[in-house]
A and B are shown apart, each in its own frame.
Chain A
Amino acid sequence: MRSALSEYGYLSAKLKTRTSTLLDDDIILKLARARTVQEAFISLRGTAYEDLERVYAATGDLKAVEAELFAREAGAYSELLPRLEGPTRAFIAALARRPELDAVKDALRLWFDSHVRGRHIGDRTGYRFAGRVVDRLDFDAIVNAASPAELALAFRGSAYGSIVAKHAQDTARLASLYALESALDAFYFSNLESSLAGLRPADRRLARRFVAFDADIQNLNSLVRSRLAAGPAADQLKRQLIAFPGAVKTDALENALASDKPLDRASAMFHGSIRGLEAFWARADSRGRLGGLERFVRQAKTDEARALKGKNPFSIGVILSYLELRCDELRRLRSALNAAHYGLPEDRARSVI
C-alpha cells in the first residue's frame, strides 16, 4: 500500500487550492438579496460560476443552468477518480455513485413517465445528464427503452444491471418506481459499506462517519415523508430505512415512527451525536422542526467537512471535505437561483440557502 503522503500529497494541495475558490458568505448573501434570476447571476461575476450567466443569457433557461450545475457536481467526483488508486479509489468511486444514481433515477423517471404513464416528456429530455461518472451509461437508451426488457438491456454491464433486471417488469406492472429506487438506494449504501473495508483504519473511521451522515439524512427524509403517508406506504417507508454502522439505529427510528411524536423521538436520537441539535430543537416550532431536522443534520455534515480542512492533509479527510463543501455550495447555489426565480423575499431566501 502506498504511504499516505504519496497517496494524498498532490491531491491534498490541489484540493486545498480548489477549496479556496469556494464562494464567500457575502456572495451567498448577495444571492439571497437578488430580486431576479438575472441579478443573481450578476452577483456571481468574478467567481468560479460566472460563466453560468452566459448559459442563462443565451437561453433564459434556469433548468439549463441547473443541468450545468449538476454536471459540475458529477464532475467534482469523476475528475478525482483517475488520480486515485486502490481502496481509496474504490471508496470514492462508491461515493461518486450518488450523483450517478441521481442521473439514473432522473432517466428512469423520464422512461417511467413516457412508457408506463404515457406522459409526454419532450420538454424535459433536453436537460438530462449525458456524461459519465463511474459506469458508462447510455441515458438516451434508458429513456427510450421500448419495454422493461429493453430497459434492463440498457443497464447491462453497469453496477445497476442486476437490480434493474430484477425490478423492471414489476415497475411497469405495478406502475410504481418505488421498489426500484429503494433497491438502488440500498445498493448505494451496501456498496459504500463494502468499499470501506479496504481503507486504512483512520481513513475508514472518517469515511464511515461521513457516510453515516448520509444514511441519517436519507432515513430522516423517509421519516418525514412517512408523516404524510399512511397504511402500506408507511410500511414501505419502514423498509426503506438504511441500516448503516455509525448511523442512528434503524429499529430505534422505526419505533420513533410508530410513536405519537415521531419527530421528537427522532430528534432525541440525534441529540447525542450532533452538537447543537438540542438547542435548535428547543428553539424551533413544530413546522420549523419538520423541515429543519434534515437540514440540521446536513449542516452538521458540512460543518464537519469545514473543520476537516485544517486537519491532517494526508488523509481521506481532505477529499471528503472538498466533495462535501463543493456539493453543499452547488446545492446552495441551486436553492438561491430558485429562490430568485420564485421571487422569495430575502429572509425566506436566506433560510433556504
Chain B
Amino acid sequence: MMFTVRMRLLDAAVPSSLAKATADELVRTGCLEAISFRQPDDTPSGRLSSVERDPSLERVRDARRRVEGLMSLAEPPLSRPLDSDFHGGPFDLAAVESRVDAMASDIQAIRDKQKETQDKILRLDEIARQLERGAALGDAARRGLSRPEERSFLLIRAGSVPASEAERLDKALAAFPSVLAPLGGADGRGVSEDGRFHCLVAALRRDETRVDSALRRSDWTDEASDARGNAAEALKEVADKRSRLALELEERRRDVGRLIRDKASELGGLWVELRGAELSQRLRSSFSHTDSTTLLSGWLPAKDSRRAEDAIRTATGGRCHIEWTEASEAAAAGLVPPSAMRNPDILRPFQTLVSNFGVPAYGTVDPTPLVAAAYLIMFGLMFGDAGHGAVLAVAGLLGRLRARKHGKPDTLFTLIWYCGLAAIAAGILFGSYFGMGLLKPLWFDYHGVVAGHARGGTVSSIYDILGITIKFGIVVLGTGLVLNWINLVRQRRWVDLFFDKAGLAGGMVYGAGAWASFWFVASSYKTLPPADILLLVLGLPTVLLAFKAPLERLEHKARGAGGGKLTAGTVMSWIMEWLVSVLEVYSGYLANTLSFMRVAGLGIAHVSLMSAFFQIAGMVNPGGGFSVTAILILVAGNVLVIALEGLSAGIQALRLNYYEFFSKFFNGSGRAYSPISFRSAD
C-alpha cells in the first residue's frame, strides 16, 4: 500500500503442443502481463518465431461484443460472469455464432411484434386527429353518416345491431384499428328499449371492406345521428383503446428483458467461452516458439508467482521450464517493470484520482492513502456543513446504487459520498447545519468567526482560519518532500537526495523559511530570527543547491555516460541552473504554501453565502419568523451553495493535491500494470 506492488518477471518454456492449454490456464489466473520473449544473444538468428495471429480473432471479438450487447438488454443488464467459469478447451466458433444469431432473431421477432402494435397506435392517433379536427365528422353528419366521405381517409358509420351481436361486432372490429363507441341508450351503453345496440364505428378507409363485412355479419343498420355530439364518445373510445395498446407495447418491450433473463445462463456461458478464447489468443500472440518449444515471458506481482507457476505446471503436466527474475535485476538489464497500486477497496476513488494524474514510477511511493486523507480534510475545511454534507452523502449513495444497478462505474458517486461524510464531520466540528448553529461546535464556530462575533477559543478571527490552512499546507508540502526523499533513497539517487530543490537541501530551506516566518509573526511582525542562525539554516542549503549540477556531471562520468568537455559555458549553465533553483525554492515554495489559503477562502465564502441567504430571507420577514417565501429563499440558497460550493471545493481540493502536493514527489513516468484477464479493458 505504501509503495507500488513488487513485481517479478516470468520466463517459461513449454511444449508447443501445450501452448494453448498454458495460455488458457494463465488467462484463468488473470495476473500475467505478457511481453515479447527476449531472444538471448547467443541464440542463432531465425531460430525463434512469433506465434501467428489467429484469423478468427476478429470474429471471436465480434461475437463477444454481440453477446455483451444482448446481455445489456436485460433490465438491469446482466453482469459478466466470473473468470473461474472459464475452462478453455475446444471451441466451435460457428456454433456459438449461430446461437447468438438465433437469440438476436428472437429479439428482432419481439421488435417486429412491437412494430405491429405501434402501427395500430399510429392509426388510432390518426383517427383521433381526424376526429379532433372535426372536419370528417362534420362531413359525415352532413351526409347522414350513411356514406363515407370520399376524400377523407377516415370512415365513420353510425347505426345499430341487435344487442346480442354487439360482442361479435366488437371482436370483429378489434382485428384492425377501429373505434366502436356506444351511442345513447337507456343505460348509457347504447342499448335501447327495442333491444338494439346503437353505436358509432370509426376506422381507416383502407379497412373499409373489413368494416363492411363485420357490419354485415352483425346485421348492421345505418342510422342518422348527431356525429359532432358523439365525437367526445369516439375520442374517449380511441383514448381507451390507445392506452390498452400502449400497455401491450410496454409489455412487449419488457419481453426482451425477460427473454434475456431466461437466457442469462446461456449468454453467460457464451461470454466466458468467447472472452476466454479472445484473451488466450491475445496472450499467445506474445509467445515465441521453436519447432517444438514455446517460450513466454511476462510481469506479475510477486505474490502471484506461485499461482502462475502452478497454472503452467498444471497445464503442461510438469513438462516445462520456469525462471523468475526480480524486478530490480530486470530493470538493470534495461526492462521497465510495470507499476501496480494495491489499496483497499475503500480507497478506490482516490487511487483513480492518482492514476488520472499519472502512474507512479515502479518502486516509488503510492500516495493513495495520503491523497485520501488530504483530499477529504481539504474538502471538509472548504465545505464544512453537516446538513450540506448529508445531502451530498445521500446523493452520492443513491448515485452509487443506481450506477451499480446499471452496471456502470460508481467511482465518482463513491467520491461524492465520502466528500459528504467529510463535510458532515467538519460541520459537526464547526457546529454548522444548513448554515444554522443547531448544535454547539466541537472545535470552533465558523459562522461566528466570519460574522465577527465569536467569543474566546483558539480560533476567533479570520486570520486564525487562514493560519490553520497555511499550517495545513506546510504539513502537506512537508509530507510531499519526505515522500520524495523516500523515493530518492529507494532509487539510490543520492545527488538528488542531498542537493535537489525537492531534496534535503530544498527541504531545509523550506523548513527554515517556515520557522523564520512563524518567528516573525510571533514577534508581531517586528523581528526575524538571529542573523547567524538564519545564515546557517537558509544560507548553507542555498549554497548546497549549487553542487547539484557539477555532482551530476561527475556521477555521469563515473557511470561512463560521458558528460562532454568542461567549458566556461558549462560552468555558466550550472550557475544559471542554481539561480533558477534558488528562485524556485524561495518563490515557488512560498507560493505553494500560500496557495492553501484558498481552503480558508472557500470555507469563508461558503459561510458568507449562507449568511447572505439568511439575511435575504430575514428581509422578506422583517418582523421575524419564517414565511413560505423566506423558506423558498433558504431552500434555493442551500441548493445553490451545495451545487456551487460542492463543485468548487471538489475541484480546488483536487488542484491542491495535483499541483502543490504531487509536484514535490510524484514521478508519473510509470507504466500501468495491465495483465491479460477477464477484467482487462476491451
Contact = CB atoms under 8 A, between A and B. Distances in A.
Contacts of B342: none
A263 to B, nearest CB: 37
A57 B127 CA distance: 25
Contact of B206 (A35, A120, A146): A120
B111 A60 contact: yes
Contacts of A144: 130, 133, 135
Given A39-B104, A114-B153, A61 B114 contact: yes
B interface, over-half SS:
helix
A58 B177 CA distance: 20
Pick from A58, A59, A60, A61 the residue with the most CB of B within 10 Å: A60
B105 A36 contact: yes
Interface stretch (B117-125, B427-435, B623-631): B117-125
A121 to B, nearest CB: 6
Given A36-B105, A60-B115, 4 more contacts: A39-B66, A60-B114, A126-B122, A140-B129
A350 to B, nearest CB: 14
B252 interface: yes
Contacts of A59: 114-115, 118, 249
A146 B205 contact: no
6 contacts: A38-B107, A42-B72, A61-B115, A114-B153, A120-B153, A123-B119
Interface string A59-71: 1111010000000
Contacts of A39: 66, 69, 104
Interface of A: 30, 33, 35-39, 42-43, 45, 56-62, 64, 114-115, 120-123, 125-127, 140, 144, 146
A57 B206 contact: no
A140 B132 CA distance: 12
Contact of B253 (A42, A57, A115, A123): A57
B135 A122 contact: no
Contacts of B112: 60
Contacts of B66: 35, 39
A33 B73 CA distance: 19
Interface of B: 62, 65-66, 69, 72-73, 101, 104-105, 107-108, 110-115, 117-119, 122-123, 125-127, 129-130, 133, 135, 151, 153-154, 177, 204-206, 249-250, 252-253, 256
B154 to A, nearest CB: 8
Nearest to B136: A144
Given A36-B104, A37-B108, A59-B249, A122 B153 contact: yes
Nearest to A43: B69
A43 B65 CA distance: 9
A110 to B, nearest CB: 10
A281 to B, nearest CB: 33
A60 B251 CA distance: 12
A38 B111 contact: yes
A58 B153 contact: no
A24 to B, nearest CB: 15
B523 to A, nearest CB: 54
A134 B151 CA distance: 30
B104 A120 contact: no
Contacts of B127: 122
A122 B104 contact: no
B104 A58 contact: no
B105 A60 contact: no
A33 B97 CA distance: 13
A120 B101 contact: no
B253 A58 contact: yes
Nearest to B256: A57
Contacts of B123: 122-123, 126
A43 B107 CA distance: 16
Contacts of A126: 122-123, 125-126
B173 to A, nearest CB: 15
A225 B129 CA distance: 37
Contacts of B206: 120, 122-123
A248 to B, nearest CB: 42
A150 to B, nearest CB: 10
Contacts of A45: 72
A163 to B, nearest CB: 23
Nearest to A62: B115
Given A38-B108, A38-B111, A39-B104, A60 B118 contact: yes
Contacts of A33: 62
B211 to A, nearest CB: 12
B249 A58 contact: yes
Contacts of B252: 60
A60 B72 contact: no
Nearest to A114: B153
A64 B118 contact: yes
A250 to B, nearest CB: 39
B118 to A, nearest CB: 4
A35 B151 contact: no
Contact of B113 (A56, A60, A62): A60
Contacts of B125: 126
Contact of A37 (B73, B111, B113): B111
A56 B108 CA distance: 11
B107 to A, nearest CB: 5
A125 B66 CA distance: 35
A30 B250 CA distance: 29
Contacts of A140: 129, 133
Nearest to A40: B69
Given A35-B101, A58-B249, A144-B135, A120 B122 contact: no
Contacts of B115: 59-62
Contacts of A43: 69
A60 B69 CA distance: 17
Contacts of B154: 122
B122 A123 contact: yes
Contacts of A58: 114, 249-250, 253
B126 A125 contact: yes
